[in-house]
């Protein structure tokens, strides 16, 4: 078997093992939460007989190992269970919320990724000069401020004072694409500021590392311009670490949007999770946690595979 194919299969197998381990941690974490799910559903006035009947109906009297494997086999078959609070199918409800989260993450990535790579190239081109220092200072300042604070500041000045955008990012299927983009403008701006610095700094560091190679010096001695050397010779050879950091930040855009969705009341996965955590709806919390883990592990696995295919040194491990 080809070494590249072996490495890809190993990465996929490792990703599946990590997902199983994550499912165990998620299930165990929800089981050790304080309180009683049946009590939270029926209320404080419920009789002991009613609580016992509901626990038996929900399978809460079964051993934890049995409950875990029943849940895992259902997930493998595409059955995420039923929400305890409203009786709705979790997969159906989550599908609409997940599409909204992916919509928000897509447009944040569409702005952040090209902008981060462009700013990284500009920082390398003007290394140790005022554009480099300005870009680094602004991006590091943005990542140092809590994202909820950035959201409230933009909400106050841009939405309330200037009236340019809405303070609440509520979208629906009846809205046009332009209306949706106008509504999510502020959440996209906050997410862009949060992930921009990391990707820009990694782009700058990866290109500067390649710039120390002998073939870069040869290209400079041939009289090529600095822009040509960076864009045509340094950037293609620095793509592997850049892809890694881009994938990690894309995973954050999907998994880490909980705070932003709550701040802007956006109907996505994060808001869905927070709503049901407050209601102690354990099946929904487990399903959301597993989906977040699958997205994060999957994107990191894709980054590993792309790095293998892009870097010849990784194709032939010793």
**Per-residue pLDDT tens for 39-89?**
666 666 667 777 677 667 666 667 777 778 877 887 887 777 777 777 777
Q: Which CATH superfamily is domain 94-268 in?
A: MetI-like (1.10.3720.10)
Cα distance between residue 198 and residue 244, in whole Å = 11
For the stretch 125-184, pLDDT in tens is 777 788 778 887 887 787 777 778 888 888 888 878 777 877 777 777 777 878 788 888
Q: Which residues of 254-264 are buried (b: 16+ CB within 10 A; e: fewer)?
A: bbbbbbbbbbb
Look at the chain and count its residues.
318
The pLDDT assigned to 43 comes to: 61
Check if the beta carbon of residue 61 is closer than 8 Å to that of residue 55. Answer: yes
Of 181, 182, 190, 122, the closest CA to residue 155 belongs to 190
Largest CA distance in the chain: 86
- 258 confidence band (pLDDT: 50, 70, 90): confident
Of 64, 75, 70, the closest CA to residue 33 belongs to 64
**106: exposed, middle or buried (Cβ count in 10 Å: 0-12, 13-18, 19+):** middle
- Cross-strand pairs, 89: 82
The pLDDT assigned to 149 comes to: 84
Average pLDDT, the chain: 77
Q: Whole-model pTM? A: 0.73
Check if the beta carbon of residue 186 is closer than 8 Å to that of residue 151. Answer: yes
Q: Per-residue DSSP letters for 5-47? A: HHHHHHHHHHHHHHHHHHHHHHHHHHHTSSS-HHHHHH-TT--
The pLDDT assigned to 315 comes to: 55
């Amino acid at each position: 078997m080809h070494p590249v194919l072996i490495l890809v299969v190993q990465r996929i197998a490792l990703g599946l093992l990590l997902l199983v381990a994550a499912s165990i941690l998620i299930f165990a974490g929800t089981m050790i939460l304080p309180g009683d799910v049946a009590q939270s559903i029926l209320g404080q006035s419920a009789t002991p007989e009613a609580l016992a009947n509901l626990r038996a109906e929900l399978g809460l009297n079964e051993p934890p190992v049995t409950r875990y494997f029943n849940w895992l086999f259902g997930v493998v078959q595409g059955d995420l269970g039923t929400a305890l609070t409203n009786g709705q199918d979790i997969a159906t409800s989550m599908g609409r919320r997940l599409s909204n989260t992916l919509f928000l993450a897509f447009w944040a990535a569409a702005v952040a990724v090209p902008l981060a790579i462009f700013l990284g190239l500009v920082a390398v081109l003007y290394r140790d000069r005022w554009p480099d220092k300005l870009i680094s200072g602004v991006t590091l300042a943005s990542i140092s401020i809590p994202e909820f604070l950035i959201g409230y500041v933009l909400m106050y000045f841009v939405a309330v004072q200037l009236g340019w955008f809405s303070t609440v990012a509520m979208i629906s299927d009846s809205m046009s694409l332009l209306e949706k983009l106008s509504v999510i403008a502020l959440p996209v701006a906050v997410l862009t500021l949060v992930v921009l610095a990391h990707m820009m700094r990694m782009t700058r560091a990866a290109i500067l590392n390649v710039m120390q190679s002998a073939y870069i010096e040869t290209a400079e001695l041939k009289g090529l311009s600095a822009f040509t050397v960076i864009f045509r010779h340094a950037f293609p050879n620095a793509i592997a670490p850049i892809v890694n950091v881009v994938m990690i930040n894309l995973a954050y855009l999907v998994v880490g949007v909980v705070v932003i969705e709550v701040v802007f009341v956006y109907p996505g996965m994060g808001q869905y999770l927070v709503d049901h955590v407050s209601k102690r709806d354990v099946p929904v919390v487990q399903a959301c946690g597993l989906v977040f883990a699958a997205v994060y592990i999957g994107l990191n696995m894709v980054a590993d595979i792309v790095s293998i295919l892009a870097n010849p040194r990784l194709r032939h491990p010793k």
